[in-house]
Structure 1
Amino acid sequence: MDRRQFIGASAVAGVALGAPATAMGRRLGRSDVERARARLVDLRRLDDYSGGAAVHPLAVREIGHLAGLAASGTYTEDVGRQLLGTLGELYQFAAWTAFDAGHGEQARRLALAAANAANRSGDRTLGATALSELSYLTASSEHPAEGVAMARASLANARGAIPAVRVVLADRLAWACARTGDVTGAERALGIGQEAHDRRDDASDDEPDTVYWINRDESMIMAGRVWSALGRHDRAGAVFETLTAPYDDTHAREMSLLHCWLADARLGAGEVEGAATSARRAAELAARTASPRTDAMLRDTLGAFGMHRDTPAVGELLDTWYDSHPA
């Protein structure tokens, strides 16, 4: 196992390698891999409640710690591959938290590092999900076209993947297609995702923790976002309206984003007062989480109400918001 892959983590993540001096030459084994993976599971759940801005520094620190251990310790080839795969998972998670914290370029750099580490470790499933995450980040940027090619490649690279993984890859392909105006491609990708959900219901696979969050509600949310991005606001609203509180308010980021997307769909469909109600709820929830991405989306959502300021519900919403968020 080439140790340069671990030493290089300092450049990728912008962090010093963090192993203690006592780790130099220590024999690493499966238990070290398991401890790192358990820590990552905890960080993923913490992100659900706290937001990317709060958790990203912890993820970066964990990268430095694991890479430092691997760069200074000794291990078998098999353990080395597992350590590298775990580092790839950390890169992938850190990419997500960087994106949520508003650091788009850093997020894309980390997602690419995740895909490279996964491929070098021989973990094709992680390689596919990391590439699909990169596609999502790219599609969500100002230049989304390249995201479609990445998303298609990730799906093609996962033909034998378990259903839960294919759901994630298909949903992200749908988003990339929507961002480029490809209605047919988006609809086809959503269909692939639903077929994978059906197979997942009948499967008994052990699913990697990288996809713990995916379920039918999440796919419905993505479908609503896809139709909204394509300008099909009535169809988007119909999808969002069928959701019955997929999370409680402890998941403030997810619920705030959901209300932002619902507000956008309602406003696009001409339901101004209903849109204002959703936007107000989004603002209340956004204040409870450390997610600059959510804050930015909320600002965009509120900005779309400008032409409706004479509507009482909108005027009250905007006055309340701008009074508490002066320029």
Structure 2
Amino acid sequence: MKRRCFLTAGSAVAAAAVAPTFTAPHRIGTSDVERLQGRFGEIIASDHRYGGRLGIEQKAAALADEALALQISGSASQRVRAYLYGCAAAFRSSAMWAAIDGRRYDDAVRHMREAQALAELAADPAIKFRIWSHAGTLYRHLGHPAEATAANDVARSLSLTRRDPLFASLGLARQAAIHGEARNATATRRSVEQAQDAMDRADPGAYRPVWMTSFYDQAELDSLALSAYLALGEYEMAESHAHRCLAALRPHMQRSKAIATTRLACAQLGQGDLEPAVLTAMSVPAAHHPRVVGMLRDFGTEIHNIAPNSPISRTWDQYVRDTWKESV
């Protein structure tokens, strides 16, 4: 499989060589890397605001090709070349995440293979962690908990997780979400507790890559716990983590707010609190995100299953017609 991955990455290099998107200086230096890293920050910001959009995926993939084109456009030190491969891997991993978030799973698998090959060339443990952790999420969404666990275990086995408890915490929190999908309540609770313990031990002032510092915090841990307990059907616990998540979310996490609010509505509905659930669902700040749209459709179906032809189901239907129209 690794051989196929490297051949795929090699094809990307060759394609980039045919039509580079910009002219680089003969000597490639750290300023070129810094310019690419700045563009990576833009991709991260777009993901937090919109998430899942095809345009984000395409832009990230194009920037990965730019990094590879720059790689062959001039001379560079070994260190700079490793940084460029790291940039390409980071962009490709963002394309992978956008495809996962947009439920374009075949495209996500393709990006994953390219990203894994590039990360090996970069020898960057942080980006390896990101890619394998995302792979675990991909397999979880595909309904393959064994593969999800195996991929997430690769991320968790990296030495980075032993040096920095925050990476260990993220790996454990995502493991909890996988256990939730597999209906393993004991393992879910244990992983959530271990993720919290690791986060509490993490040094808040330690250097970490921008993709990590921009999203993983207490709110994201509670978001993953919310997902896990919702999958288990432990709705009261899910609601508790939902409120904690929403209270701690940073303002730029608009996509995360929409997802957590929708999950809160589902947790309330699971407890039979129909009116609060509908009011919560009606407060979701955006229904243009593919995952949110899918969850709201399921929410509406469940409302009709629980209370068909009731005033609350009619209220929801009218809201959908007036607000989201064809979205949900």
Q: TM-score range by the shorter chain?
A: 0.7 to 0.9
Answering whether residue 292 of structure 2 is matched by residue 311 of structure 1, we say no
CA contact (8 A) 1:100 1:294 kept: no
CA contact (8 A) 1:63 1:90 kept: yes
* Other structure's SS at 1:72 match: coil
CA contact (8 A) 2:9 2:114 kept: no
* Other structure's SS at 1:265 match: helix
Superposition CA RMSD, Å: 2.7
Change (3 A) 1:301 1:18: farther
What does 1:106-255 correspond to in 2, within 5 Å? 106-158=107-159, 159-200=161-202, 202-212=203-213, 213-247=215-249, 251-255=253-257
Once residues 251 and 81 of structure 2 are traced to their aligned partners in structure 1, the CA distance between those partners, rounded to angstroms, is 41
Q: What letter matches 2:152 in structure 1?
A: A
Is there any run of 5+ residues in structure 1 with no aligned partner, and where?
none
CA contact (8 A) 1:29 1:75 kept: yes
Q: Which residue of 2 aligns with 1:279?
A: 281
Report % sequence identity: 24
Change (3 A) 1:4 1:68: farther
Once residues 115 and 170 of structure 1 are traced to their aligned partners in structure 2, the CA distance between those partners, rounded to angstroms, is 21
CA contact (8 A) 1:63 1:91 kept: yes
For residue 270 of structure 2, the aligned residue among 260, 263, 268 is 268
* Other structure's SS at 1:256 match: helix
CA contact (8 A) 2:97 2:108 kept: yes
* Other structure's SS at 2:248 match: coil
Q: Which residue of 1 aligns with 2:12?
A: 9
Answering whether residue 80 of structure 2 is matched by residue 82 of structure 1, we say no
Is there any run of 5+ residues in structure 2 with no aligned partner, and where?
1-5
Write the deviation string for residues 62-90 of structure 1: whole angstroms up to 9, x where unpaired: 12222222133322222111111111111
CA contact (8 A) 2:17 2:72 kept: no
CA contact (8 A) 1:164 1:211 kept: no
Change (3 A) 1:18 1:97: farther
Deviation, structure 1 residue 233? 1.1
Write the deviation string for residues 132-167 of structure 1: whole angstroms up to 9, x where unpaired: 110011111133331012112221224424122222
CA contact (8 A) 1:116 1:127 kept: no
* Other structure's SS at 2:196 match: helix
CA contact (8 A) 1:9 1:63 kept: no
CA contact (8 A) 2:245 2:260 kept: no
* Other structure's SS at 1:259 match: helix
Once residues 219 and 21 of structure 1 are traced to their aligned partners in structure 2, the CA distance between those partners, rounded to angstroms, is 40
Once residues 102 and 20 of structure 1 are traced to their aligned partners in structure 2, the CA distance between those partners, rounded to angstroms, is 29
Change (3 A) 1:203 1:311: same
Deviation, structure 1 residue 7? 4.4
Write the deviation string for residues 19-74 of structure 1: whole angstroms up to 9, x where unpaired: 24744x82211111111111101221122223331422221221222222213332
CA contact (8 A) 1:6 1:67 kept: no
Once residues 130 and 251 of structure 1 are traced to their aligned partners in structure 2, the CA distance between those partners, rounded to angstroms, is 21
CA contact (8 A) 1:88 1:115 kept: yes
Change (3 A) 1:20 1:280: closer
TM-score (norm 1): 0.87
Q: Which residue of 2 aligns with 1:101?
A: 102
Once residues 259 and 274 of structure 2 are traced to their aligned partners in structure 1, the CA distance between those partners, rounded to angstroms, is 18
Number of equivalent positions = 317
Q: What letter matches 1:144 in structure 2?
A: P
TM-score (norm 2): 0.87
